[in-house]
Structure 1
Amino acid sequence: MSRFQATEALLAAMARQHPQFPPQASAIVRMVKLLHKLTQDQGNELLRRYGLTYPEYNALMMLSASSDGVLSPSQLGDAIAEKSANITRLTTQLVDKQLIERAPSAQDRRMWRLRLTPKGQALIASFMPEISAQLAGYASALDAGEQAQLLSLLKRLLAGVEQSA
Protein backbone atom coordinates (compact mmCIF):
# COMPACT_ATOMS: atom_id res chain seq x y z
CA MET A 1 0.00 0.00 0.00
CA SER A 2 1.42 3.38 -0.98
CA ARG A 3 1.60 6.11 1.63
CA PHE A 4 -0.87 8.07 -0.47
CA GLN A 5 -3.72 5.51 -0.39
CA ALA A 6 -4.77 6.53 3.12
CA THR A 7 -4.95 10.15 1.98
CA GLU A 8 -7.09 9.20 -1.02
CA ALA A 9 -9.48 7.24 1.21
CA LEU A 10 -9.88 10.22 3.53
CA LEU A 11 -10.44 12.58 0.60
CA ALA A 12 -13.16 10.26 -0.75
CA ALA A 13 -14.82 10.28 2.69
CA MET A 14 -14.63 14.08 2.72
CA ALA A 15 -16.35 14.19 -0.69
CA ARG A 16 -19.14 11.94 0.59
CA GLN A 17 -19.68 14.30 3.55
CA HIS A 18 -19.39 17.47 1.46
CA PRO A 19 -20.58 16.94 -2.13
CA GLN A 20 -19.05 20.23 -3.35
CA PHE A 21 -15.56 19.10 -2.19
CA PRO A 22 -13.36 18.19 -5.22
CA PRO A 23 -11.46 15.04 -4.15
CA GLN A 24 -9.41 14.75 -7.31
CA ALA A 25 -8.21 18.37 -7.22
CA SER A 26 -7.42 17.96 -3.53
CA ALA A 27 -5.53 14.72 -4.24
CA ILE A 28 -3.42 16.51 -6.85
CA VAL A 29 -2.49 19.29 -4.43
CA ARG A 30 -1.71 16.81 -1.65
CA MET A 31 0.36 14.65 -4.02
CA VAL A 32 2.42 17.68 -5.05
CA LYS A 33 2.94 18.50 -1.37
CA LEU A 34 4.01 14.92 -0.59
CA LEU A 35 6.39 14.85 -3.56
CA HIS A 36 7.89 18.17 -2.43
CA LYS A 37 8.40 16.90 1.11
CA LEU A 38 9.97 13.60 0.01
CA THR A 39 12.30 15.14 -2.56
CA GLN A 40 13.35 17.92 -0.20
CA ASP A 41 14.01 15.45 2.63
CA GLN A 42 16.03 13.17 0.34
CA GLY A 43 17.83 16.13 -1.18
CA ASN A 44 18.72 17.48 2.26
CA GLU A 45 20.06 14.07 3.25
CA LEU A 46 22.35 13.97 0.20
CA LEU A 47 23.39 17.63 0.49
CA ARG A 48 24.22 17.37 4.19
CA ARG A 49 27.35 15.43 3.16
CA TYR A 50 28.44 18.56 1.28
CA GLY A 51 27.61 20.96 4.11
CA LEU A 52 24.57 22.39 2.31
CA THR A 53 20.85 22.74 2.86
CA TYR A 54 18.36 22.36 0.04
CA PRO A 55 17.74 26.15 -0.21
CA GLU A 56 21.52 26.76 -0.37
CA TYR A 57 21.81 24.15 -3.14
CA ASN A 58 18.98 25.81 -5.08
CA ALA A 59 20.69 29.20 -4.81
CA LEU A 60 24.03 27.80 -5.99
CA MET A 61 22.39 26.03 -8.93
CA MET A 62 20.55 29.15 -10.10
CA LEU A 63 23.71 31.27 -9.85
CA SER A 64 25.57 28.60 -11.81
CA ALA A 65 22.86 28.57 -14.48
CA SER A 66 22.65 32.34 -14.95
CA SER A 67 23.94 33.52 -18.30
CA ASP A 68 26.78 35.64 -16.92
CA GLY A 69 27.13 33.88 -13.56
CA VAL A 70 25.69 36.89 -11.75
CA LEU A 71 22.25 37.54 -10.24
CA SER A 72 20.81 40.24 -8.06
CA PRO A 73 19.26 39.10 -4.78
CA SER A 74 15.77 39.77 -6.17
CA GLN A 75 16.50 37.73 -9.32
CA LEU A 76 17.77 34.90 -7.15
CA GLY A 77 14.69 35.12 -4.94
CA ASP A 78 12.43 34.87 -7.98
CA ALA A 79 14.43 31.93 -9.37
CA ILE A 80 14.21 29.89 -6.17
CA ALA A 81 10.82 31.18 -4.95
CA GLU A 82 12.12 32.64 -1.69
CA LYS A 83 11.14 35.87 0.05
CA SER A 84 13.66 38.70 0.27
CA ALA A 85 14.23 38.18 4.01
CA ASN A 86 15.11 34.55 3.35
CA ILE A 87 17.40 35.54 0.45
CA THR A 88 19.35 37.89 2.73
CA ARG A 89 19.87 35.13 5.30
CA LEU A 90 20.62 32.51 2.65
CA THR A 91 23.16 34.62 0.77
CA THR A 92 24.85 35.58 4.02
CA GLN A 93 25.25 31.88 4.83
CA LEU A 94 26.72 31.22 1.38
CA VAL A 95 29.08 34.22 1.66
CA ASP A 96 30.19 32.97 5.10
CA LYS A 97 30.91 29.55 3.56
CA GLN A 98 32.88 31.35 0.81
CA LEU A 99 30.69 29.76 -1.88
CA ILE A 100 29.42 33.06 -3.30
CA GLU A 101 30.55 36.65 -3.24
CA ARG A 102 28.37 39.70 -2.89
CA ALA A 103 29.49 42.99 -4.45
CA PRO A 104 27.82 46.30 -5.28
CA SER A 105 26.63 46.70 -8.85
CA ALA A 106 28.86 48.85 -11.06
CA GLN A 107 25.74 50.52 -12.52
CA ASP A 108 23.93 51.16 -9.22
CA ARG A 109 25.94 51.02 -5.99
CA ARG A 110 22.70 50.46 -4.02
CA MET A 111 22.18 47.09 -5.76
CA TRP A 112 24.07 43.93 -4.90
CA ARG A 113 25.35 41.38 -7.40
CA LEU A 114 25.84 37.76 -6.38
CA ARG A 115 28.41 35.49 -8.03
CA LEU A 116 29.75 31.99 -7.39
CA THR A 117 33.30 31.78 -6.08
CA PRO A 118 35.75 29.18 -7.41
CA LYS A 119 35.07 27.23 -4.19
CA GLY A 120 31.33 27.32 -4.98
CA GLN A 121 31.94 26.14 -8.55
CA ALA A 122 34.11 23.29 -7.28
CA LEU A 123 31.46 22.24 -4.77
CA ILE A 124 28.81 22.10 -7.50
CA ALA A 125 31.11 19.96 -9.64
CA SER A 126 31.66 17.60 -6.71
CA PHE A 127 27.98 16.95 -5.95
CA MET A 128 26.63 17.11 -9.50
CA PRO A 129 27.01 13.36 -10.25
CA GLU A 130 25.02 12.37 -7.15
CA ILE A 131 22.37 15.05 -7.63
CA SER A 132 21.96 14.11 -11.29
CA ALA A 133 21.53 10.44 -10.40
CA GLN A 134 19.01 11.29 -7.69
CA LEU A 135 16.93 13.46 -10.03
CA ALA A 136 17.04 10.88 -12.82
CA GLY A 137 15.95 8.24 -10.33
CA TYR A 138 12.91 10.27 -9.34
CA ALA A 139 11.65 10.31 -12.92
CA SER A 140 12.82 6.81 -13.90
CA ALA A 141 9.30 5.33 -13.79
CA LEU A 142 8.32 7.67 -16.65
CA ASP A 143 9.62 7.56 -20.21
CA ALA A 144 10.74 10.78 -21.91
CA GLY A 145 7.32 11.44 -23.43
CA GLU A 146 5.56 10.93 -20.12
CA GLN A 147 8.03 13.25 -18.41
CA ALA A 148 7.33 15.94 -21.01
CA GLN A 149 3.58 15.43 -20.65
CA LEU A 150 3.75 15.61 -16.85
CA LEU A 151 5.81 18.79 -17.00
CA SER A 152 3.29 20.33 -19.39
CA LEU A 153 0.40 19.38 -17.10
CA LEU A 154 2.18 20.73 -14.04
CA LYS A 155 2.77 24.04 -15.83
CA ARG A 156 -0.95 24.23 -16.57
CA LEU A 157 -1.70 23.41 -12.92
CA LEU A 158 0.68 26.19 -11.85
CA ALA A 159 -1.14 28.63 -14.15
CA GLY A 160 -4.42 27.66 -12.49
CA VAL A 161 -2.96 28.16 -9.02
CA GLU A 162 -1.51 31.54 -9.99
CA GLN A 163 -4.83 32.66 -11.51
CA SER A 164 -6.73 31.60 -8.37
CA ALA A 165 -4.56 33.73 -6.08
Structure 2
Amino acid sequence: METPDKPSSFQSFEQAMQGLSRRLASRAALRESVIVRLFQHVAQRLNDFMDEPFREYGLNTTQWTSLVVIYASPERRLRPSELSVFMNSSRTNSTRVARQLQKHGLVDRQADANDGRQWFLQLTRKGIDFVEAFLPVRRDHVREALEDFSAEEVNELERLLRKLLYKLD
Protein backbone atom coordinates (compact mmCIF):
# COMPACT_ATOMS: atom_id res chain seq x y z
CA MET A 1 0.00 0.00 0.00
CA GLU A 2 1.35 3.40 -0.97
CA THR A 3 1.46 6.09 1.68
CA PRO A 4 2.01 9.78 1.07
CA ASP A 5 5.02 11.62 2.47
CA LYS A 6 2.93 13.76 4.80
CA PRO A 7 0.98 12.36 7.77
CA SER A 8 -2.75 11.93 7.28
CA SER A 9 -5.54 13.43 9.35
CA PHE A 10 -6.25 9.87 10.50
CA GLN A 11 -2.83 9.34 12.10
CA SER A 12 -3.75 10.46 15.63
CA PHE A 13 -6.69 8.02 15.79
CA GLU A 14 -4.50 5.19 14.52
CA GLN A 15 -1.85 5.93 17.13
CA ALA A 16 -4.46 5.94 19.89
CA MET A 17 -5.81 2.60 18.66
CA GLN A 18 -2.31 1.11 18.58
CA GLY A 19 -1.88 2.08 22.22
CA LEU A 20 -5.22 0.49 23.07
CA SER A 21 -4.27 -2.64 21.16
CA ARG A 22 -1.03 -2.99 23.16
CA ARG A 23 -3.01 -2.73 26.40
CA LEU A 24 -5.62 -5.24 25.27
CA ALA A 25 -3.17 -7.47 23.39
CA SER A 26 -5.65 -7.77 20.51
CA ARG A 27 -4.39 -6.97 17.02
CA ALA A 28 -7.64 -8.24 15.42
CA ALA A 29 -9.76 -5.77 17.37
CA LEU A 30 -7.36 -2.99 16.37
CA ARG A 31 -7.56 -3.84 12.68
CA GLU A 32 -11.38 -4.00 12.72
CA SER A 33 -11.67 -0.74 14.63
CA VAL A 34 -9.19 1.03 12.39
CA ILE A 35 -10.89 -0.14 9.19
CA VAL A 36 -14.34 0.97 10.35
CA ARG A 37 -13.11 4.31 11.67
CA LEU A 38 -10.95 4.85 8.58
CA PHE A 39 -14.00 4.31 6.39
CA GLN A 40 -16.00 6.84 8.43
CA HIS A 41 -13.09 9.29 8.38
CA VAL A 42 -12.68 9.00 4.60
CA ALA A 43 -16.44 9.33 4.09
CA GLN A 44 -16.47 12.60 6.05
CA ARG A 45 -13.45 13.95 4.16
CA LEU A 46 -15.06 12.92 0.86
CA ASN A 47 -18.29 14.70 1.81
CA ASP A 48 -16.35 17.85 2.65
CA PHE A 49 -14.36 17.60 -0.60
CA MET A 50 -17.48 17.07 -2.70
CA ASP A 51 -19.34 19.96 -1.01
CA GLU A 52 -16.50 22.42 -1.69
CA PRO A 53 -17.51 23.63 -5.20
CA PHE A 54 -21.06 24.39 -4.02
CA ARG A 55 -20.24 26.39 -0.89
CA GLU A 56 -20.06 29.72 -2.71
CA TYR A 57 -23.65 29.11 -3.84
CA GLY A 58 -24.88 28.13 -0.38
CA LEU A 59 -25.49 24.56 -1.54
CA ASN A 60 -24.14 21.12 -0.71
CA THR A 61 -23.80 17.74 -2.38
CA THR A 62 -27.20 16.51 -1.20
CA GLN A 63 -28.88 19.50 -2.79
CA TRP A 64 -26.81 19.10 -5.96
CA THR A 65 -27.72 15.43 -6.25
CA SER A 66 -31.38 16.32 -5.74
CA LEU A 67 -31.15 18.86 -8.56
CA VAL A 68 -29.57 16.28 -10.88
CA VAL A 69 -32.23 13.68 -10.03
CA ILE A 70 -34.98 16.19 -10.79
CA TYR A 71 -33.14 17.31 -13.95
CA ALA A 72 -33.01 13.70 -15.17
CA SER A 73 -36.71 13.13 -14.49
CA PRO A 74 -39.41 13.46 -17.16
CA GLU A 75 -40.40 17.10 -17.59
CA ARG A 76 -37.69 17.95 -15.04
CA ARG A 77 -40.11 17.51 -12.18
CA LEU A 78 -40.55 15.01 -9.38
CA ARG A 79 -42.72 14.47 -6.32
CA PRO A 80 -40.89 14.92 -3.00
CA SER A 81 -41.73 11.31 -2.09
CA GLU A 82 -40.04 10.13 -5.31
CA LEU A 83 -37.04 12.30 -4.51
CA SER A 84 -36.74 10.71 -1.07
CA VAL A 85 -36.61 7.25 -2.70
CA PHE A 86 -33.93 8.32 -5.18
CA MET A 87 -31.93 10.03 -2.42
CA ASN A 88 -32.37 7.19 0.08
CA SER A 89 -33.55 9.67 2.68
CA SER A 90 -36.64 10.40 4.71
CA ARG A 91 -39.53 12.39 3.30
CA THR A 92 -38.88 14.98 5.98
CA ASN A 93 -35.31 15.42 4.76
CA SER A 94 -36.45 15.61 1.13
CA THR A 95 -38.95 18.31 2.08
CA ARG A 96 -36.18 20.23 3.85
CA VAL A 97 -33.91 19.93 0.79
CA ALA A 98 -36.77 21.03 -1.48
CA ARG A 99 -37.39 24.12 0.65
CA GLN A 100 -33.70 25.04 0.47
CA LEU A 101 -33.65 24.61 -3.30
CA GLN A 102 -36.81 26.68 -3.59
CA LYS A 103 -35.23 29.40 -1.44
CA HIS A 104 -32.34 29.53 -3.92
CA GLY A 105 -34.79 29.82 -6.82
CA LEU A 106 -33.69 26.48 -8.31
CA VAL A 107 -37.04 24.68 -7.97
CA ASP A 108 -40.69 25.67 -7.68
CA ARG A 109 -43.46 23.75 -5.99
CA GLN A 110 -46.26 23.04 -8.41
CA ALA A 111 -49.60 21.46 -7.57
CA ASP A 112 -50.47 18.21 -9.31
CA ALA A 113 -53.36 19.00 -11.68
CA ASN A 114 -54.76 15.49 -11.14
CA ASP A 115 -54.55 15.47 -7.35
CA GLY A 116 -54.64 18.76 -5.43
CA ARG A 117 -53.14 17.09 -2.35
CA GLN A 118 -49.96 16.25 -4.27
CA TRP A 119 -47.31 18.55 -5.63
CA PHE A 120 -44.17 18.43 -7.74
CA LEU A 121 -40.72 19.90 -7.48
CA GLN A 122 -40.19 21.58 -10.83
CA LEU A 123 -36.77 22.86 -11.89
CA THR A 124 -36.81 26.55 -12.70
CA ARG A 125 -34.89 27.99 -15.63
CA LYS A 126 -32.25 29.03 -13.08
CA GLY A 127 -32.11 25.43 -11.79
CA ILE A 128 -31.73 23.99 -15.30
CA ASP A 129 -28.99 26.49 -16.15
CA PHE A 130 -27.19 25.74 -12.87
CA VAL A 131 -27.24 21.97 -13.44
CA GLU A 132 -26.09 22.30 -17.04
CA ALA A 133 -23.27 24.67 -16.11
CA PHE A 134 -22.14 22.57 -13.15
CA LEU A 135 -22.21 19.07 -14.68
CA PRO A 136 -18.71 19.40 -16.19
CA VAL A 137 -17.39 21.09 -13.03
CA ARG A 138 -18.72 18.24 -10.91
CA ARG A 139 -17.26 15.62 -13.22
CA ASP A 140 -13.82 17.24 -13.04
CA HIS A 141 -14.09 17.41 -9.25
CA VAL A 142 -14.92 13.71 -9.01
CA ARG A 143 -12.01 12.90 -11.32
CA GLU A 144 -9.74 14.92 -9.05
CA ALA A 145 -10.78 12.83 -6.04
CA LEU A 146 -9.90 9.62 -7.91
CA GLU A 147 -6.89 10.78 -9.92
CA ASP A 148 -4.33 8.88 -7.82
CA PHE A 149 -6.07 5.56 -8.54
CA SER A 150 -5.53 3.39 -11.60
CA ALA A 151 -8.56 2.24 -13.56
CA GLU A 152 -8.17 -1.19 -12.00
CA GLU A 153 -8.08 0.31 -8.51
CA VAL A 154 -11.22 2.34 -9.20
CA ASN A 155 -12.97 -0.83 -10.38
CA GLU A 156 -11.81 -2.70 -7.27
CA LEU A 157 -12.89 0.15 -4.99
CA GLU A 158 -16.34 0.13 -6.58
CA ARG A 159 -16.56 -3.65 -6.25
CA LEU A 160 -15.60 -3.56 -2.57
CA LEU A 161 -17.96 -0.69 -1.77
CA ARG A 162 -20.83 -2.51 -3.47
CA LYS A 163 -19.97 -5.67 -1.53
CA LEU A 164 -20.03 -3.74 1.76
CA LEU A 165 -23.30 -2.03 0.83
CA TYR A 166 -24.88 -5.37 -0.06
CA LYS A 167 -23.88 -6.72 3.35
CA LEU A 168 -25.23 -3.66 5.18
CA ASP A 169 -28.50 -3.54 3.21
TM-score w.r.t. length of structure 1: 0.80
Q: Over residues 1-23 of structure 1, what are the superposed CA-to-partner deviations in whole Å (9 max), with x where a residue is unaligned?
A: 22223322333333442749633
Identical-residue share of aligned pairs (%): 29
Whether the aligned pair in 2 keeps the contact of 1:104 and 1:111 (CA below 8 Å) is: yes
Q: Over residues 18-56 of structure 1, what are the superposed CA-to-partner deviations in whole Å (9 max), with x where a residue is unaligned?
A: 749633333232222222222222333321223323322
Aligned to 1:159: 166
Equivalent positions of 1:75-114 (< 5 A) are 75-114=82-121
Counterparts of 2:168 and 2:49, CA distance in 1: 26
Quickly say closer, same or farther: Cα 1:70–1:4, change in 2 above 3 A. Answer: same
Aligned to 1:31: 38
Q: Over residues 129-160 of structure 1, what are the superposed CA-to-partner deviations in whole Å (9 max), with x where a residue is unaligned?
A: 32221110111111222112111111111222
Whether the aligned pair in 1 keeps the contact of 2:50 and 2:142 (CA below 8 Å) is: no
Q: How many residues align?
A: 162
| Structure 2 gap ranges (5+) | 1-6
Q: Return the match for 1:8 from 4, 14, 30.
A: 14
Aligned to 1:137: 144
Aligned to 1:66: 73
Q: Over residues 80-120 of structure 1, what are the superposed CA-to-partner deviations in whole Å (9 max), with x where a residue is unaligned?
A: 23322222121012123221122233454333322322210
Runs ≥4 in structure 1, deviation > 4 angstroms?
none
Task: Report the structure number with the largest CA radius of gyration.
Answer: 2
| Structure 1 gap ranges (5+) | none
Aligned to 2:59: 52
Counterparts of 1:26 and 1:114, CA distance in 2: 42
Q: CA deviation at 1:76?
A: 1.4
TM-score w.r.t. length of structure 2: 0.79
Quickly say closer, same or farther: Cα 1:110–1:29, change in 2 above 3 A. Answer: farther
Amino acid at match of 1:45: E
